[in-house]
Amino acid sequence: MKIVFVVFFFSLLQSCVSNDTIMRRQSLRDGEVILSEGERFAFGFFSLGVSKLRYVGIWYAQISEQTVVWVANRDRPVNGTSGLIKFTSRGNLCVYASLNATEPPLWSTNVSDSILEQTLVARLSNIGNLVLLDSVTGRGYWESFDHPTDTFLPFMKLGFTRKDGLDRFLTSWRSPSDPGSGNRTLRMDRRGLPELILHKGQILWWRAGTWTGLRWSGMPDMNRGYIFSNSFVNNQDEVSFTYGVTDASVITRMKVNERGTLQRFTWIAKDQRWNEFWSVPKEECDYYAHCGVNGFCDPTSSETFECTCLPGFEPKITRHWFLRDYTGGCSRKNETSLCREKDRFVKLTHAKIPDTSNASVVMNLTLKECKQRCLVNCSWCLTWHGDMLDTRTYLNSGQDFYIRVDKEELALWETNGSSRKTRVVLVLIILIVAVMVLMVIVFCFVRKRRKSNMLRRSSTTFSMVSFDFEDSLKFEDDKSGNRELPLFDLNTIAAATDNFSSHNKLGAGGFGPVYKGVLQIGMEIAVKRLSKNSGQGMEEFKNEVKLISKLQHRNLVRILGCCVESEEKMLIYEYLPNKSLDCFIFDEEQRAALDWPKRMKIIRGIARGTMYLHQDSRLRIIHRDLKASNILLDNEMIPKISDFGMARIFGGNQIEGCTNRVVGTIGYMSPEYAMEGHFSVKSDVYSFGVLMLEIISGKKNSSFHKESSNLVGHIWDLWEKGEATEIIDNLMDQETYDVSEVVKCIHIGLLCVQENASDRVEMSSVLIMLGQNAIDLPNPKLPAFTSVRRRGRENVALLIAEPGSSVNDITFTDVQGR
């Protein structure tokens, strides 16, 4: 096992295992750590402050401030540096207090069934999840995300599964220097409508309110925006909440601290500090049942007290309320009698509805139907059977809440409410006037900078996007219907790109130019503007939008939104500063900076992204246009597959298809696809093999080499002569690579480009081959489109007559699928 040395945030010298995995027969001693593939997270032993107690956990590896996000043995630390992490014979990962591991473990993954597979590993992902899985089949047995401590990371779930009862909840530390289990917990409540509840011991401390479709009603600061996304699932299998980030460079986390506050932080790199984005509870009205039963809290009230009784109720003990003691709450007025013929409803706007633990729900009713049923039967739509707790109002968030009262109470409430409304109206008028003045100033400034063509377009507004198209952008299988792709208006994109200025142009693809832009919030974006004469029509555009919005993988480019106005169709992506792979491997100056470890990192990343498309995403996806210009590189040279306009989505069991419209790029298309319109996951494998050989050699496949028709044919000729090393890029420093490892990669590349699709390896096998040093590989067979094959196929020679060009619409009149 190769060992290197790095200095971590706690200022101790620790050795670091050079990959992200602990193999079954390996162990991890105190002082050794593993890093996730992108080196964002580390796993191993750590201490807090000057304490000699040692814990096993996960922390951010690349930031200066010690930030632990998960602790295994939080209640049973190791005293000293003699700890050991290793697998047991049953397949559990355990923490021991000594190197001989004879005592019972201090902590274990506690997988109930014995895991006999020798290919079992523990792998740390770049989202901070430690997973026990079979490295061959990919089957998972245990993961740290299912057993969180005090921190809620992006893409982690909070909630429970109904079948096995697995409950994912947060528990605070005892103190900032003691990660032991504290008495503050945040978990999904199973009573009434599901919602997140924060407890202080057994006491309800704060609740998130019901899910509104965009956020929890008690968390108005939880906005979706362009960076953060929220998702709530409530079905027959599970009840869970998760959040994500659309910009992979954003480092963020949520945690429950020992004081009982839920906080969201983002890392400010330039200041090297955590910034608190928001927190709850933060005001009196946030705390559970602050105004007692049947009371509601209004922090914006200009009255003496923030607490008021709900319509139809009055303080139980009035003098206590004057002393600001609201614990007694409110009771129904004696003279109020419900179920009269002329009963009506008082509407509370911007409300956090009461605790639903003792409420029943009648779904699928309109507001009118609900009112009618409630007037007929007092017990029907008035679903709170008893006292109502923890109700409050917000300035510009919350929900409408209707309370049934008699006509006398309604008149009284409307009279009291009118004075409050007058004050609110005055405030709103002042705000509206101020906003309008500001808008006029901004409009005049922008108008001076607009060119004449943008003046003609300015009348086009966001509302021009049809509902049919907007609906098509939603997740088709997301029953909750609350996950959509943000839509940008044309003026916003034009301003971000300086009216599509030529100096912001990053390049041009087969379907149009790509521009760099900067939004008003300072976020950098890449805008793919489809040309009007592009071969990509509305169907391909919709396909790319719907497809990428469903995908989440660190080796796939992330889409932020789209714009459809007038004749414009644009896709907005995350901006990647290093542009595309072809800018590096086909440019001598840039290529010289790519040593072998960087090239290998790029190869592995592309392989992982492709395998995700083929077998790990919810639907099987065939990209159909893998090539160097469609591989983008971020600031850490992590590759991200892009351009999904030509991709095809298959069901989970479907692996191949046939088309009479061939799309793709000449030089990367497999023979069965180029000649017969037959495509499958093996078509992508062929493209990956070509791309892999290009990365190793630094040459384009479309270039002609002596007697060979292309690079692949040239490499095959050298391979048969035993001279494959001649193809290795001579600009690559020989001290950075092991020749045998590079030759192995050439071997794998040739296994990917064999003529018959059935002979080619799958992407999962490619990753295994890349990850194992000593492995016997099968002998490759003759690749497609070599000089030998070309002599007998004049039509193939015609197809590659203009190498490197994109094929957007080649139609076969007689195509037979195999």
User: In terms of pTM, does the model score above 0.75?
Assistant: no
Strands 262-268 and 252-256: antiparallel
| CATH superfamily name and code, 462-574 | Phosphorylase Kinase; domain 1 (3.30.200.20)
Residues 6+ apart with CB under 8 A from 365: 373, 381
Q: Which CATH number fits domain 1-143: 2.90.10.10, 2.102.10.10, 3.90.76.10, 3.40.630.30?
A: 2.90.10.10
Q: Are 299 and 283 in contact (CB under 8 A)?
A: yes
User: How many angstroms from the chain centroid is the CA of residue 204?
Assistant: 31
Q: Where are the domains of the chain?
A: 1-143, 148-282, 286-418, 420-448, 462-574, 582-811
Q: Give the residues across from 314 on adjacent strands.
A: 331
Exposure string for 143-182, b = 16+ CB within 10 A, e = fewer: bbbebbbbbbbbebbbbbeeeeeeebbbbbbbeeebbbbb
Tell me what pLDDT residue 663 has: 59
Residues 384, 312 contacting (CB under 8 angstroms):
no
CA separation for the pair 179, 800 (Å, rounded)? 63
- Greatest Cα pair distance in the chain: 102
- What CA–CA distance (Å, rounded) separates 676 from 658? 8
Q: Is the peptide bond before 281 cis (omega within 30 degrees of 0)?
A: yes
At residue 73, the pLDDT reads: 96
Contact 562/526 with Cβ under 8 angstroms? no
Q: What is the pLDDT of residue 118?
A: 86
C-alpha span between 666 and 663 (Å, rounded)? 9
What is the chain's alpha carbon radius of gyration, rounded to the nearest angstrom? Answer: 31
Could you say which of 3.90.1300.10, 1.10.510.10, 3.40.50.1000, 1.10.3720.10 is the CATH number of the domain covering 582-811? Answer: 1.10.510.10
The pLDDT, as a whole number, for residue 816 is 30
* Residues whose CB falls within 8 Å of the CB of residue 721, separated by 6 or more in sequence, listed in order: none
Judge residue 368's burial from the number of C-beta atoms within 10 Å of its C-beta, 0-12 exposed, 13-18 middle, 19 or more buried.
Answer: exposed
The 3-state secondary structure of 284-349 reads HHHCCCCCCCCEEECCCCCCCCCEEECCCEEECCHHHHHCCCCCCCEEECCCCCCCCCCCEEEEEE
Whether residue 189 lies in the annotated active site: no
> pLDDT digits over 429-438, tens only?
888 888 888 8
Pairwise CA distance, residues 120 & 87, whole Å: 9
Give the sign of the dihedral formed by CA 16, CA 18, CA 20, CA 23: negative
Q: Which of 625, 643, 717, 729 is catalytic?
A: 625
Q: Is 363 helix (H, G, I), strand (E, B) or coil?
A: coil
Residues of the chain with pLDDT under 50: 1-18, 224, 379-382, 385, 451-483, 651-654, 660, 788-818
Residue-averaged pLDDT of the chain: 78
Cβ contact 411:312 at 8 Å: no
pLDDT at 611: 92
Q: Which two tokens stand for residue 341?
A: 């013929």
Those residues with Cβ within 8 angstroms of residue 194's Cβ, 6 or more apart along the chain or in another chain: 159, 188, 211, 234, 239
Q: What is the pLDDT of residue 789?
A: 44
